[in-house]
A and B are shown apart, each in its own frame.
Chain A
């Protein structure tokens, strides 16, 4: 079943390269996304069997991340059909093919049970997203892509080294299949494990965009087209988060949690602090979103480092963050196509010119900053509670302080964009907004809201079970 899904995505990407018309390619893209969604839904009833001698398999962590990816990709695939359609005279051949290849590699990340294969899949996500970032072919986009490739490749090389160190540490187990490493964790050589963990944290932390390895993120998110930004911020970062979950699993099994925790806490707080301060006085909307993404990655890592109910909160936040970030990037795509700029100063009166996009802008702002009743509020609250349970009052204080800085920074920027009159006189009256770019945004907004109003019992059950795997 897993092989079937992976094969479908790979073949789909290949066919996209051959199909002659934009319309046909869009239909194929959306239908593959839909089939993927149905398959993933079936996995919730019945976890698929392992394939290729335990290399591929789906555990609870994988299932959570895979479901997020599938829902997000479905929304993005519909949206990007409309987005590329608005760019007159552009062929979407490379774009749709790369989207599917990227989706293939992200799916592979979630189902890899072998840590080496896992690395291969993560490396592929970097390579396959590079052409997507360069979609607009502006010189700045090229610069962003170059930065992304170089920093991303170095990060990925360090993660490979970490994987090797882990393998050297597991030399007596003679396998890097996760279940075998976990069940024979007492055979791991601890010094090599520690070096390995440090390299893995730096490597995958680069991929996730944690401070101080975040250099590529503002440039890349600043230049990526809206739908690609949504996939990067909601999907690829979650793949990197899965890497952190795997590292925690290994450390937990080898009784090295106390070694990992301070590293995660430091990275988490540093990311939240740096991102929130950089958001003040930001002039570019997409860069603002990039820093917001860094902040949320910091929250995820902080929750993981706190342990206890923090792990539940962190997993729940991964779900919430993916949809709220996806939504706000789709909004940014709409704004860019209407205003042809990303400068905050030049975008005004969104509510008047584009009523739907303006509405979504406000909704996504509330969802991203964690205002009730959105799910992000509850997951951020659980992480705060974990810090207080742990008597980490210093961390709790910094966490609250920087989250309020984020709220103030985003509120002042986004509310100014939404209100007022558009500078361009032709935009005075409400513009026509195509359904194809508003419905995916509505879909993501609905999920983000639903997660806050009531957590579906099946999701709650799986989140509880999976956080128990890390000993909470």
Chain B
């Protein structure tokens, strides 16, 4: 029973950190919060119980390397090269987005009560927290205007998806998980290059200025 308490706590912290992201506008803190969330995420496979195999080790080390070290480092590097340190609260204010975040968590619990899992579930909180993280990431992505915050929103979404993947630990072969890591890695890499170009062309990184292609 010991493992289950720690697991629930980790899941709760992951969702709380996602909420914190909604309320933060300093770019540096946003990246740091994301790194913190990912580091807890990396520990979750071990809290699920069961034997510690090479499979779990690869996933955890991969998450640590990519999401806790490499990507935050790259994003912080990008932040240093931009003159702006703060994200504007975006199209929604801070309070509205926090309220929406709460509603999304309620929605997640409602959704997961509708979907019953036949196999092993590990913890009753796993599916709701996965949905919550996913939705909050999506909210960040669509409500913020700075390129860096949008990238972080996308990555938080990926974290939510990662929690779903844990349900499939026994059935999904390693190859696919490696492919997923690689994709996130390359995805952020390409986004980074483009972000750099946006910076050079427009001398800022506010994607809300990118609207000459609007109809």
- A interface vs B, CB < 8 Å? 55, 114, 116-117, 119-120, 123-124, 127, 130-131, 134, 137, 139-140, 142-147, 149-150, 153-154, 156-157, 160-161, 164-165, 167-168, 170-172, 174-176, 189, 191-192, 195, 218-219, 222-223
- A139 contact set on B, CB distance < 8 A: 201-202, 212
Given A164-B165, A174-B171, A192-B115; A142-B183 close (CB under 8 Å) = no
Given A154-B138, A171-B119, A191-B116; A142-B164 close (CB under 8 Å) = no
In this complex, which of A134, A140, A161, A165 has the most chain B Cβ atoms within 10 angstroms of its Cβ? Answer: A161
- A222 contact set on B, CB distance < 8 A: 213
B176 at the interface (CB under 8 A from A): yes
* A127 pairs with B190, CB closer than 8 A: yes
B87 at the interface (CB under 8 A from A): no
In the complex formed, the residue of B with least CB distance to A174 is B171
Q: Bound state CA distance, A165 and B191, in angstroms?
A: 27
- A116 contact set on B, CB distance < 8 A: 172-173, 175-176, 179
Q: Bound state CA distance, A175 and B171, in angstroms?
A: 6
* A150 pairs with B150, CB closer than 8 A: yes
Chain B interface bracket (under 10, 10 to 19, 20 to 34, 35 or more): 35 or more
- B117 contact set on A, CB distance < 8 A: 168, 171, 192
Given A150-B141, A153-B187; A160-B180 close (CB under 8 Å) = yes
* A144 pairs with B213, CB closer than 8 A: yes
B157 at the interface (CB under 8 A from A): yes
In this complex, which of B191, B194, B201 has the most chain A Cβ atoms within 10 angstroms of its Cβ? Answer: B194
Q: Bound state CA distance, A418 and B20, in angstroms?
A: 58
Q: How far is the CB of B200 from chain A (nearest CB, A)?
A: 9
B118 at the interface (CB under 8 A from A): yes
* A153 pairs with B118, CB closer than 8 A: no
- B interface vs A, CB < 8 Å? 114-119, 134, 138, 141, 147, 150, 154, 157-158, 161, 164-165, 167-168, 170-173, 175-176, 179-180, 182-183, 186-187, 190-191, 193-194, 197-198, 201-202, 207, 210-213, 215
Which 4 residue pairs spanning A and B have beta carbons closest together?
A: A116-B176, A120-B179, A143-B210, A219-B213
In the complex formed, the residue of A with least CB distance to B207 is A146
Contacts A145-B194, A174-B170 given; 7 further ones with Cβ under 8 A?
A: A137-B197, A146-B147, A149-B187, A150-B150, A170-B171, A172-B118, A175-B171
* A146 pairs with B210, CB closer than 8 A: yes
Given A127-B187, A146-B207; A164-B141 close (CB under 8 Å) = no
* B115 pairs with A149, CB closer than 8 A: no
Q: Bound state CA distance, A119 and B175, in angstroms?
A: 12
In this complex, which of A146, A153, A165, A176 has the most chain B Cβ atoms within 10 angstroms of its Cβ? Answer: A153
Q: How far is the CB of A154 from chain B (nearest CB, A)?
A: 7
In the complex formed, the residue of A with least CB distance to B193 is A131
* A124 pairs with B171, CB closer than 8 A: no
* B176 pairs with A117, CB closer than 8 A: yes
Q: How far is the CB of A421 from chain B (nearest CB, A)?
A: 30
- A174 contact set on B, CB distance < 8 A: 170-171
* A142 pairs with B201, CB closer than 8 A: yes
In the complex formed, the residue of A with least CB distance to B164 is A164
- B147 contact set on A, CB distance < 8 A: 146
- A142 contact set on B, CB distance < 8 A: 194, 197-198, 201, 210
* B115 pairs with A161, CB closer than 8 A: no
* A120 pairs with B183, CB closer than 8 A: yes
Q: Bound state CA distance, A420 and B95, in angstroms?
A: 59
In this complex, which of B164, B176, B190 has the most chain A Cβ atoms within 10 angstroms of its Cβ? Answer: B176
Q: Bound state CA distance, A118 and B211, in angstroms?
A: 34
In the complex formed, the residue of A with least CB distance to B168 is A167
- A127 contact set on B, CB distance < 8 A: 183, 186-187, 190
In this complex, which of B167, B187, B212 has the most chain A Cβ atoms within 10 angstroms of its Cβ? Answer: B187
Q: Bound state CA distance, A299 and B82, in angstroms?
A: 45
* A130 pairs with B194, CB closer than 8 A: yes
Q: Bound state CA distance, A156 and B197, in angstroms?
A: 23
In this complex, which of A119, A137, A167 has the most chain B Cβ atoms within 10 angstroms of its Cβ? Answer: A167
Q: Bound state CA distance, A195 and B186, in angstroms?
A: 28
Q: How far is the CB of B82 from chain A (nearest CB, A)?
A: 15
* A154 pairs with B154, CB closer than 8 A: yes
In the complex formed, the residue of A with least CB distance to B131 is A161
- B161 contact set on A, CB distance < 8 A: 157, 160-161, 164
- B202 contact set on A, CB distance < 8 A: 139
- A150 contact set on B, CB distance < 8 A: 141, 150, 154
